[in-house]
Chain A
């Protein structure tokens, strides 16, 4: 098991390096340079000094090596649009995204697995209702759901805030206020994904129960629901765990749109604003962090699969 972990970890490192290189290459190809003197807003000599100060006048290869060295030390460079080092900016944004995306992740896996098991265990009617609703919800774009939820609960009914993380000088306690701001973006992010998980888990359980296992359990006198819960739920948990690693890129990508719509000051919105500002160090910092998260996610999913499924463990020996 530890040998497997080590091998898998060593495999992830070059992947991360490759992703960082790809990001740097793309960013190096972006036209224009920092501190343009051509617009006349900046004295050419001053622009030259600023470029030398931030090292942006050096050749791309040298900047690449310096940047990689910095990343290894946890130094992501200096953001021109935020006028401060990138690492703390990305760190703060990542923490806020973790609150939103983490809660959405929890919600979608709990809700999705539960709905999937329920659909597989319940009768024909329950199955039809759940799979129908899930297929519809899974097809709906998350930003559309976000816009509709805001339109209904914030604008029409006025129950929940439209955007941001907190209200300044709101009378209610901090936690209540924060939760009220979390509800809509979290639902918009989690519901379509939960529907996808529910459909997958249901199909996996149905496939697993579609044979000798069910016949044996029935011959021991177990009811339909009991079979689904005792044998199917484990199968569903396993199926959901394989989806876990795949869910991370979707969550990071999806949070760009949802965070922008809800003005949630997280990673996604930061990456979006950094792209619009052509702030290369900040874009690279966001990209590096997201790529690391995605690679860590697939690593975690592999380990989780090995931990849950004895067959995978056996194949490793």
Chain B
């Protein structure tokens, strides 16, 4: 099957679908701490075991091997021994595919949940800014020259303030929360999209689509939303996927700075910044970043092939 976006669309699906299904796929909840002292800082591909004792305690141990009627193991830098009779259930194997962090949480699970959060926030922000961009772009084109000038100069002004600085300012207005994060990311994203909406609508204004809709008796708003919007949607899709890539990068950046959504929300940036103090745990930084890079790369390449589909290069 050929789909718009080419192979990049499959990469996108391979990254975003598991993230959407994180609660089903992740081996453990994002904040699950079984045993901080024993389970912390385990490198990727660590094989460990969980030892449950009847009093409800859980120990995460590595290098478990049978020893007579019990087991010897390593835990938190030392060795220990436990009788099989002292365990509530036989040792439970644990595989930490991407290692654990300093609080003994499974990094693989956290990355799945983090990607779900980051991509969800970015997607909502882009959807919101698309809405604002369409409303203001439409108003600029059909609201008369004065409104047009006012909106376009307003966009120039917002764009003159660096995006991250605008974010810092907005983030200090209210206590941090996920809805605020979405709103503020959208507030710094809509400007470029509104310019594109205006440019696309200008090429359609007074054209066949508008004339046909008007002739059929459609009112201006109906013409705008039901006839002109679908016509510019493909061009907007290209811009929106590029903005999505930028926004997910920005969301991780503000989380790295500690200005993202507060816990229990977990973003890819949170995972990366938790790795920076203890620079020994390279896996905390490396994997979320590589995943982010793959996502951004796929989004950009999907946008490029979508663009080519809409506007095929002429054969000279």
Residues of A within 8 A of B (CB): 14-16, 18-19, 21-23, 26-27, 29-31, 135-136, 138-141, 143-144, 147-148, 150-151, 154-155, 162, 210-211, 249, 252-254, 256-257, 260-261, 271-272, 275, 278, 283, 286-287, 290-291, 294-295
Instruction: Decide: A14 and B292 in contact? CB cutoff 8 A.
Output: no
Q: Given A144-B272, A210-B316, are A249 and B163 also a contact pair (CB < 8 Å)? A: yes
Q: Given A139-B296, A148-B286, are A291 and B161 also a contact pair (CB < 8 Å)? A: yes
Candidates B165, B172, B174, B276; contact of A290 at CB < 8 Å: B165
Q: Which 8 A-B pairs have the closest CB atoms?
A: A144-B289, A18-B157, A253-B164, A155-B279, A139-B296, A139-B297, A253-B162, A19-B160
Q: Given A30-B173, A143-B256, are A257 and B164 also a contact pair (CB < 8 Å)? A: yes
Chain B residue at minimum C-beta to C-beta distance from A150 = B279
Among A143, A154, A286, chain B packs the most CB atoms within 10 A around the CB of A143
Q: Given A30-B173, A144-B292, are A256 and B257 also a contact pair (CB < 8 Å)? A: yes
Measured between beta carbons, the chain A residues less than 8 angstroms from B288 are: 144
Measured between beta carbons, the chain B residues less than 8 angstroms from A30 are: 172-173
Instruction: Decide: B153 and A14 in contact? CB cutoff 8 A.
Output: yes
Instruction: Decide: B162 and A294 in contact? CB cutoff 8 A.
Output: yes
**Number of B interface residues in the complex (CB < 8 A):** 44
Instruction: Decide: A271 and B165 in contact? CB cutoff 8 A.
Output: yes
Measured between beta carbons, the chain B residues less than 8 angstroms from A253 are: 162-165
B37 interface hit (Cβ, 8 Å): no
Chain A residue at minimum C-beta to C-beta distance from B168 = A275
Among residues 71 to 85 in chain B, which have CB atoms less than 8 Å away from a CB atom of chain A? none
Instruction: Decide: B169 and A249 in contact? CB cutoff 8 A.
Output: no
Instruction: Decide: A256 and B249 in contact? CB cutoff 8 A.
Output: no
Measured between beta carbons, the chain A residues less than 8 angstroms from B162 are: 249, 252-253, 256, 290-291, 294
B158 interface hit (Cβ, 8 Å): yes
| 30 contacts across the A-B interface (CB closer than 8 A) | A15-B153, A19-B157, A19-B161, A21-B157, A23-B161, A31-B173, A135-B297, A139-B245, A139-B292, A139-B294, A139-B296, A141-B292, A141-B293, A148-B286, A151-B282, A211-B316, A256-B257, A257-B164, A257-B256, A283-B168, A283-B172, A286-B165, A287-B165, A287-B169, A290-B162, A291-B161, A294-B160, A294-B161, A294-B162, A295-B160
B54 interface hit (Cβ, 8 Å): no
Measured between beta carbons, the chain B residues less than 8 angstroms from A155 are: 279-280
Chain A residue at minimum C-beta to C-beta distance from B298 = A139
> How far is it, in angstroms, between the C-alpha of A136 and the C-alpha of B301 when the chains are bound?
11
B170 interface hit (Cβ, 8 Å): yes
Measured between beta carbons, the chain A residues less than 8 angstroms from B158 are: 22
Measured between beta carbons, the chain A residues less than 8 angstroms from B282 are: 148, 151
Q: Given A15-B156, A19-B160, A147-B276, are A256 and B289 also a contact pair (CB < 8 Å)? A: no
B171 interface hit (Cβ, 8 Å): yes
Instruction: Decide: B168 and A271 in contact? CB cutoff 8 A.
Output: yes
Instruction: Decide: A272 and B160 in contact? CB cutoff 8 A.
Output: no
Instruction: Decide: A256 and B160 in contact? CB cutoff 8 A.
Output: no
Instruction: Decide: B293 and A278 in contact? CB cutoff 8 A.
Output: no
> How far is it, in angstroms, between the C-alpha of A30 and the C-alpha of B171 when the chains are bound?
9
Measured between beta carbons, the chain B residues less than 8 angstroms from A31 are: 173-174
Candidates A16, A162, A210, A256; contact of B165 at CB < 8 Å: A256
Measured between beta carbons, the chain A residues less than 8 angstroms from B275 are: 147
Measured between beta carbons, the chain A residues less than 8 angstroms from B160 are: 15-16, 18-19, 291, 294-295
Measured between beta carbons, the chain B residues less than 8 angstroms from A257 are: 164, 253, 256-257
Instruction: Decide: B170 and A26 in contact? CB cutoff 8 A.
Output: yes
Contact indicator per residue, chain B 167-184, by CB within 8 Å of chain A (1) or not (0): 011111110000000000
> How far is it, in angstroms, between the C-alpha of A261 and the C-alpha of B277 when the chains are bound?
10
Chain A residue at minimum C-beta to C-beta distance from B286 = A148
> How far is it, in angstroms, between the C-alpha of A43 and the C-alpha of B153 when the chains are bound?
46
Measured between beta carbons, the chain B residues less than 8 angstroms from A21 are: 157
B285 interface hit (Cβ, 8 Å): yes
Measured between beta carbons, the chain B residues less than 8 angstroms from A287 are: 161, 165, 169
B117 interface hit (Cβ, 8 Å): no
Measured between beta carbons, the chain B residues less than 8 angstroms from A136 are: 293, 297
Q: Given A210-B316, A275-B169, are A151 and B161 also a contact pair (CB < 8 Å)? A: no
Measured between beta carbons, the chain A residues less than 8 angstroms from B163 are: 249, 253
Chain A residue at minimum C-beta to C-beta distance from B245 = A139
